[in-house]
Chains A and B, each alone.
Chain A
Amino acid sequence: MTADAGPGESFEAFKNSFSYGSRTDLTFKFLKHLSGEDAAQLLQELLRRLSETCDDGRYEQLVDHVCEWQRRAYAESADSGGSPWTYAEGPFTPLRTPVAASWLVLLASSGHFVDGDDPQPFGVEGMTQAEAVERIGEFLKIEPVLSAVPVDTPRERLRVRHGGYDIRGAEADPNVVLPLERLRELQRDGVVGELASPAYSFVGACAQTPLLKHAGLAWVARLREQRVAAAVLVPV
């Protein structure tokens, strides 16, 4: 965290303060990726649309504006820095049986776990979301821990904590990123053959190389033991 708000604060410091600064708001942390000119354009247009919404109630124009600028900011960030995870070719495994006859597993990087099975990062009992945000730099240096979530877990027993994204949507409805209820419905409707239990979640804001070279390999072995035909992967 930085003490960025104060007398004489520059616009640059203001827009950056939404990303792990004095005004942290993970929905708007992308402001840091924007140039000052683009951030100003975003805010000006947001206020213009807000004025219109006050009159016509069309909140959709606000939602669309935020979604579009999130997309633009991360696209520019990826373009400018280049990704170390760039591959000319990728693997491909065909699904050999229809989904309706297949075993599926769900794995999300959403930071969910079941009540009573807190992975307790850094040995901290009952870490809050605010603490996770505060310690994001430490999370980015450690190998992630996989939390097993039985597929019949009721939503009131699910917990979520992740210092890398705004979890308010996931708190309101875990299906926005860990769609267990939707998958159970699809299985009941015969669209999905079988749901492998448990499903899995981990904190995606973690050390990427250890994930790729160590934890990920162990997870794949675990999924193979579950004899799943396919995995639905949900990054956040």
Chain B
Amino acid sequence: MYGLGLFKGLGVTMKNLVSPSRQFNIVQYPNRRASPFDLAKVDNQNPVSFIATHPLKTLRSLLGLETITDRMPQHANFRGEEFAWYDRRCTGCASCAKYCPLGIIKIVTGTSGVNQQEGQSYDIDVFDIDIGRCMFCGLCVEACPYDALHMGSGFEEGKYRRSDLVINIDQLKSAEKKPSTWFRPQLTSRGHDPIKGSTADWEEVGRHEKPSLEDQSERWAKR
């Protein structure tokens, strides 16, 4: 019948209003109202002892005044903004800069320094990533032959100026290393999950086992 769809639509929205189950689909970000059970979970207590020990907090949470930070479940392969870069793995080959479709990685190298695995390497003076223009395609990570550059896991990098969005070498060095497992199957096989907060040291992120000293001396000394 002509025009029946209008009333069907009204029925759908009315169902949204009256059925409580629809409201549970809403996810609040960055924080949401917490029940006493949520607070107990955050505090690592069981609910009964939490209510007994924190009566004021319980009351506040029942009034809807307590909030907790809660994240949506997120995959470990997420390509995030906080790039994980290991200066001890990087040789300064600038593959990432060459492969970047937008040309937003800037590398300036000098001639000194010793790489742990492969011998000589460049000394890296400048390593800027302009994440304000980055599209997070991850080609730089794919291009890295030494597994020195990894995608990060976070996304809350809002800044007030565009210039603040350029990550320089000091920030990259001092950042907490939570590499995403995207394009890094070795991290997945080791059970690394940056979303759960596990960090990875420079020795753990490579594709291969670290060569022993004998291997190294055999490979390089007999040439």
A and B pair up? no
